[in-house]
Amino acid sequence: MITTTGQASTIEPMSLAEIAREHGDENVASRESVFQVRDLAVSYSGNTAIREVGLDVLKNAITAFIGPSGCGKSTLIRCFNRMNDLVPGAKVDGEVLYHGKDLYAADVDPVEVRRRIGMVFQKPNPFPKSIYDNVAFGPRVLAMKDDLSERVEGALQQAALWDEVKDRLKESALGLSGGQQQRLCIARCLAVEPDVILMDEPASALDPISTTRIEDLMHELKRQYTIVIVTHNMQQAARVADMTAFFSVDVAPDGGRRTGILVEYDKTAKIFTTPADKRTEDYVTGRFG
């Protein structure tokens, strides 16, 4: 018994730096930019949530936003598909270019934006409909009605859910497990053939096995899609992301107003091994946050 315990202890958890070195894509920086964020600031009813953000999101890469609560990373990701428009009092300043075109230009229809830029939310939010109708919802509202069943099957296969649900497509999506529901939400998003997938803490409500499946899926999906993920879990960022942005909270000198700021944005391996900023180092080594 003692021997067994001894053997088990040789399996040391990998450090974030090791995980990051194993995963990230070295040549990622040469990719073209999908989003170019320039001097972005977002405020809700006059309170600035995040400011002075500038970064490029690269094509066919996974970009992770990490940082402590309240650093504005969810606010930022919601700028990419103009979900902040739905919040009364939200105001976006600065520029978000999508393939060179300003997403916030007066002639841009936010509904059009959301067709191309899909989103998966923190808590799985399947519609109270059948599994099939969940995936078919997007194509139906966008009038992509040709070969709807094939489209639904394709999306479910891409989301690695088809084998589990193919015999119960007519059953309610609410009967699926949490992890299955989240993959259904990914399938729902894939069914409208987006260009980018935004994921706002997609695995934070899931168990470790479901989380692993979602992460594996992300590695598969990045061949075809550009992915941006917000995560609280640094291991997750190290495992999946090619690029990582670290955000922090800037407290006003008088100790009052707290605003999110971008501290550092670089290749994931760099962020987790040799970050340029002291604050990043403190955060990724667990000394802060």
Partner 1 sequence: MSRGLKGGVFKGLLFLSLLVGFLMLAALLVDVFQDGLPYLDLTLLTNPPSSDPKIAGARPAILATIYIGVLLLLFVVPIGVGTAVYLEEYADKRRWYNKLLEINIQNLAAVPSIVYGILGLAFLVRGIGLGRVLLAGAMILTLLVLPTVIIAAREAIRSVPDSIRQGGYALGATQWQVVSRQVLPAAIPGIATGSILALSRAIGETAPLIMIGAVTYISFDPTILGPFTALPIQIYSFLRLPQEEFKLLAAASIIVLLAILLTLNAFAIFIRNRYRRTW
Chosen residue from 6, 13, 46, 88 binding partner 1 by CB under 8 A: 88
Q: Are 73 and 66 in contact (CB under 8 A)?
A: yes
Q: Which stretch in 3-11, 65-73, 82-90, 95-103 sits in contact with partner 1 by CB under 8 A?
A: 82-90
Helix (H, G, I), strand (E, B) or coil at 216: helix
Q: Considering beta carbons, is residue 23 or 78 the nearer one to partner 1?
A: 78
Nearest in space to 58 (alpha carbons), one of 82, 23, 26, 104: 26
Burial track 219-239 (b if 16+ CB lie within 10 A, e otherwise):
eebbeebbbbbbbbbbbbbbb
Give the shortest CB-55-to-partner 1 separation in angstroms.
Answer: 22
The one-letter amino acid at 94 = G
Residue 205 contacts partner 1 per CB under 8 A? no
Q: Which stretch in 14-22, 123-131, 255-263, 265-273 sits in contact with partner 1 by CB under 8 A?
A: 123-131
Q: Are 63 and 44 in contact (CB under 8 A)?
A: no
Q: Considering beta carbons, is residue 179 or 275 the nearer one to partner 1?
A: 179
Nearest in space to 80 (alpha carbons), one of 104, 61, 50: 104
Q: Are 66 and 240 in contact (CB under 8 A)?
A: no
Residue 229 contacts partner 1 per CB under 8 A? no
Residue 128 contacts partner 1 per CB under 8 A? yes
Q: Count the neighbouring beta carbons within 10 Å of the beta carbon of residue 281.
A: 18
Give the shortest CB-110-to-partner 1 separation in angstroms.
Answer: 8
Q: Which two tokens stand for residue 238?
A: 């190290």
Give the shortest CB-217-to-partner 1 separation in angstroms.
Answer: 18
Residue 269 contacts partner 1 per CB under 8 A? no
Instruction: With CB under 8 A as the rule, give the number of residues binding partner 1.
Output: 29
Chosen residue from 24, 67, 72, 118 binding partner 1 by CB under 8 A: 118
Nearest in space to 288 (alpha carbons), one of 238, 235, 249: 249
Q: Considering beta carbons, is residue 127 or 162 the nearer one to partner 1?
A: 127
Q: Considering beta carbons, is residue 116 or 232 the nearer one to partner 1?
A: 116
Chain centroid to Cα 131, Å, comes to: 23
Chosen residue from 26, 39, 141, 147 binding partner 1 by CB under 8 A: 141
Rounded to 5°, the CA angle 154-160-162 comes to 60
**Site track for partner 1 across 165-184, x = CB under 8 A:** -------x-x----------
Point out which residues bind partner 1 (CB under 8 A): 81, 83, 86, 88, 111-112, 114-116, 118-119, 121, 123, 125-130, 137-138, 141-142, 172, 174, 185, 188-189, 192
